[in-house]
A and B are shown apart, each in its own frame.
Chain A
Amino acid sequence: MHKLTINLEVNGRKINKEVNSHYRLLDFLREDLDLTGSKEGCGAGECGTCSVFVDGKLVKSCLMPVAKASGKKIETVEHQGTPDNLSTLQKAFFLTGASQCGFCIPGMVMAATSTLRNNPKADIEEIKEEMGGNICRCTGYQKIFDAVELARDVISGKLDPKALEEYSKPEASYLGANVKRIDAPGKVTGRLKYAADMKMPNMLHMQVFRSSRPHAKIKKLDLSKAKAVSGVEAIVTCDDVPGIDNFGVFIEDQPVLAKERVRYVGEAIAAVAADTLEAAKEAVSKIEIEYEDLPALYDPEEALKDEILIHEHYKTNLVKHIPIRKGNVEEGFAKADLIVEEKFATQPVEHAYLEPMAGLSYVDSDGTLVIVSPSQNITHHRHMMSKIMDLPINKVRFIMSPVGGGFGGKEDMIYQGMLALCAMKTRLPVRYVMTREEDITSTAKRHPSRTNYKIGITKDGKITAVQIKMLADGGAYGCSTEGVMRKAAILGAGPYKIDNLQMDTFGVYTNNTPSGAFRSFGALQTEFATESILDICAEKLNMDPFELRRKNMFVAGDLTHTKQELNSASIGTVLNELESLASWEKGTPNSRGASRKDLNGKDNRDSCFLGARLNEKPEASGGVK
């Protein structure tokens, strides 16, 4: 690899060093200096996890070749404070609870620092604009804004620095107290190590060769040129799996690496472990493959016809159907004064946890296979892994590293099998870090759904019958589809007493990216339909939407849709509290926005225009000769 010599100052330390010439400043900080507080969330300037100061200006270090940084002064999050000596801003982040998974937080601290350096009096609009290049997937930004405003007021002297320490110690009980997050100091200072931040001696780097076809037979896989690349230690394929090569959360339908067939674009086919990332990438580019394309399915309706089969041995594309039956819907609809039928659809959604998938695997001195990864379900993963590797469970050890956001996306096992195969084959530690692009295109999504909805309701707003059919695209492998269908079915009709219910959810295979676990797991899709159609009904019945819901809501003792007796049901309290919290003006939901009186209250943010830092609002720039 070509090298160049750079001279620079990092966090006050003068450094003169030979580096890989193609390194970006971010690579240099992370790989050569172990300053892993700067993270790589996207590598393309789109997320801000890599923000650092270069000669006092905040930039995204993933977009700066290291050569450009030569001669400059670099300041990273590690320079802002230490867990026992936090900066004012870091203290404010700590106090407000601004860090959740923490992956965006070092970048956020840097962006906030820059904002207040540029203008110690920055108002909230300026703060939002200046931090607009840093994405947070966990917090909704609110506590981050709170932290920056708090720090600003302390720095400007408006607030006593004691405001940063404030922490009301509970008299009687710690339960119910706002105890400050114990994980925050390590996060706001960038000290916490996520999987991609970890290194081991003699560690290899893994890269994955993936399918470019949605549905095809693998006719030939030629690894010879890839194996010849210098630095390559091992290449693994499905042939290297010692045990049972099928895993999954509910249905064991997935091979560690594609076997004979690929079922979606991005499916892993082979994995290379090499002594450098560059060698591993090069080897992947030299793998040769021949496909025989098969007819493919992209539409779940089509999939239901079973004309093309994604997993032939199942003889059907139906992954799971969950039925729920209560009462008699025909009778229920007959009693209705109003019947509404509508269709709803939701899109596939990416988890977009800011920490891309990453893991480290090695074999311990006693032969135990160890996998360190931010998996949300290591208990189950070790069961699957012991079968795959044909090892007793006590010889498989999973360590869950800090998770930089999961939202269900790190629940299904994805890359751990390949890592383990490489570690077993080479007996060396192997690390794998996905790029953002690889992560988006190859990992599971929220199930896209189509829902047909029919509801019967009386004049005075009592639901008499509901019939729901939801079809969801599960993509190429089963993953969590079964569970998602179940939750969608159980909860879909909402917190309402419905005597006559017919609910069916269907998940099917297609050749799309697999769908999997995602925060709110199916309930989001079906409850969206229910809550939309209830407002349609409310308009037709000329009834306030809260009122309509109150007429039908569960009370303690009611039977749920699955005929479970509820020992308690707080929905009544919740609706009352919500109505007063929002100062809701009662009325029919008939597009009355223009005339309502409850708008523009103090709990709204201002409508956002850009240019908070321009002297004049863009609205008022009228020019005269």
Chain B
Amino acid sequence: MLRYDNYFIPKSLDEYFNLLTEVKDYRIVAGCTDVLPWAREGRAGNVFIKNIIDITNIKELNIFEIHKDKIKISATTTFQKLFIDPQIRKDIKILPQVSVWFADDQIREQATIGGNIVNASPAGDGSPAFLTLNAQAIIMGRKGKDIYERKISLDKFILGRNKVDLQGNEILAALEMDNTKGYGASFEKVGHRRSLVISTVCVSCVARTDSSGKLFDDVRIAVAGVREIPCRLEKTEKFLQGKEINEQNILQASVLDLDVINARSRLEYRKEVLQNFIIRAIIKSVSEKIIIKENYFEKTKIQKLEEVHA
């Protein structure tokens, strides 16, 4: 059970930073969907934090801008907003796709993207999607009387399990990401069921072809669930750049980054699924027409790897 004496809901950044100078023992919350389940038996148990500071009503954090090249959305944006917003659905397809796999409709009404990133769970679904959009974390802090802002790419912001690069009174204010209008997208996730499911492996992919539709132009893939910190698959992406879209190239690409896996358990399983997901995600993002021959999947893991390396 989470117990606290005070629950503050500051309405502006000034009010927020002032509060932080006044109270000592505090915790920031947004949607509370990580914090409340955390303060239960089997996890943190009974927790007492004197002050809870809810950031969801800070007016400066009410950002939702979609520009031609970039989008900027506040950290307090909920996943349900990403799921239902028509413009996002049209142009940044990866976001509704990750959202539909995220928790359930009700949790998504509360769960914020900032909470998801800052909580930095290895199985978190949001970050790999944001990584494929080249997300920049916009961080705000106050030194003395001056509110400052700094920007850092999301992959640098996430430092480890439950660890991000926030100092002192800093707060994750917003994300700035690419508008991927015209890109295809695919989100692949597996756990033990299909709703309210924790990722064992998840893969986000956004991609587009050149104008002929024959060559890969820009492919971005990121993974989570299989390692401490989500990451992009750089070798895979680089390999595909400018290459012809065909079965052989996709299969070859699919094995280049499998060593990113450093999960503590179910390694073999994760490796095999990750490769299959990479293949599936690339195909779904660029073209339905590529068919991987059935007999490829009939082979063992080892044979599959040998074949593509040959």
Contact = CB atoms under 8 A, between A and B. Distances in A.
Tell me whether A and B are bound partners: yes
A22 B97 contact: no
Contact of B7 (A4, A59, A610): A4
A347 to B, nearest CB: 13
Nearest to B97: A618
Given A67-B9, A614-B96, A623-B206, A45 B107 contact: yes
Interface of B: 1-7, 9, 29, 31-33, 36-37, 40-42, 46, 52, 54, 56, 80, 83, 89, 93, 96-97, 100-101, 103-107, 109-110, 180, 182-187, 194-196, 206-211, 213, 217-218, 284-288
A624 B210 CA distance: 6
Interface of A: 2, 4, 21-22, 24, 43-46, 48, 51, 57-60, 62-65, 67-68, 111, 114, 129-130, 132-133, 278, 281, 285, 435, 437-438, 441, 608, 610-611, 613-615, 618-625
B97 A63 contact: no
Contacts of B7: 4, 21-22, 65, 67-68
10 closest cross-chain pairs (CB), A and B: A133-B104, A132-B195, A623-B184, A67-B7, A623-B208, A2-B5, A623-B183, A437-B41, A44-B37, A621-B184
Given A133-B195, A623-B209, A624-B208, A51 B106 contact: yes
A285 B3 CA distance: 14
30 contacts: A21-B5, A22-B1, A45-B33, A45-B37, A45-B106, A46-B196, A48-B104, A48-B106, A57-B80, A58-B105, A60-B110, A63-B37, A65-B7, A67-B7, A129-B105, A133-B105, A133-B106, A133-B195, A133-B196, A435-B40, A437-B41, A610-B194, A613-B83, A614-B96, A618-B284, A619-B284, A623-B206, A624-B211, A624-B213, A625-B208
A614 B109 contact: no
Given A21-B7, A63-B36, A624-B209, 6 more contacts: A45-B33, A63-B32, A132-B195, A133-B105, A623-B206, A623-B285
A620 B185 CA distance: 9
A616 B32 CA distance: 32
B93 A613 contact: no
Contacts of A68: 7, 9, 32, 54, 56
Contacts of A438: 41
**Which among A2, A281, A622 has the greatest number of chain B C-beta atoms within 10 A?**
A622
Contacts of B101: 610
B285 A435 contact: no
Contacts of A278: 1, 3
Nearest to A130: B105
A618 B187 contact: yes
A188 B140 CA distance: 48
A57 B78 CA distance: 12
B93 A621 contact: yes
Nearest to A50: B106
Contact of A58 (B2, B106, B183, B211): B106
B186 A621 contact: yes
Given A48-B106, A621-B184, A611 B208 contact: no
A488 B149 CA distance: 67
B107 A133 contact: yes
A441 B41 CA distance: 10
Contacts of A615: 89
A60 B96 contact: no
Given A22-B3, A63-B107, A133-B195, A623 B182 contact: yes
Contact of A133 (B31, B52, B103, B285): B103
Contact of A21 (B6, B80, B105, B213): B6
Contact of B6 (A2, A614, A624): A2
A278 B56 CA distance: 28
A435 B46 CA distance: 12
Contacts of B106: 45, 48, 51, 58-60, 111, 133
Contacts of A619: 284, 288
B196 A281 contact: no
A72 to B, nearest CB: 12
Contacts of B31: 63
Nearest to A58: B106
B194 A132 contact: yes
B290 to A, nearest CB: 10
